[in-house]
Amino acid sequence: MKIEGNRPPENQEISLRSQKLGKPEGTPAPTDGQLQTKTSDQVQLSGRAGEIGQLMSIIQQMPDIRTEKVEAVKKSIQEGTYKVDAFGIAGKILEEFSR
């Protein structure tokens, strides 16, 4: 199928009614004396969802960086006492790839 321009194909009717938004035809507009009621959506969460929400709140309050740990590593690097466990790191890498 080749599409050219913005016109519909020949001999095909287009319903402009389907493109209109708003109230359905025949619905009277409210008068000043009538009140419009608004409906609202409601969501009920399980107890587990409430727990998850509380945990997320606690996590968001935690600092992104554990400064006490960073300072301890910096100090051990400066003192020359920082040791890298190469076998431990390699083991964790292998565990990650074996999943």
User: DSSP states of 57-99 as a string?
Assistant: HHHHHS-SS-HHHHHHHHHHHHHT-----HHHHHHHHHHHHT-
Q: Determine which of 28-42, 60-74, 85-99 has the lowest per-residue pLDDT on average.
A: 28-42
- CB-CB neighbours of 66 under 10 Å: 10
- Does residue 84 contact residue 93 with C-beta atoms inside 8 Å? no
Domain ranges (residues) in the chain: 65-99
> pLDDT at residue 66 above 80?
yes
- Confidence band of 47 (pLDDT split at 50, 70, 90): confident
The pTM assigned to this predicted structure is 0.34
Cα of 91 vs its chain's centroid, Å: 34
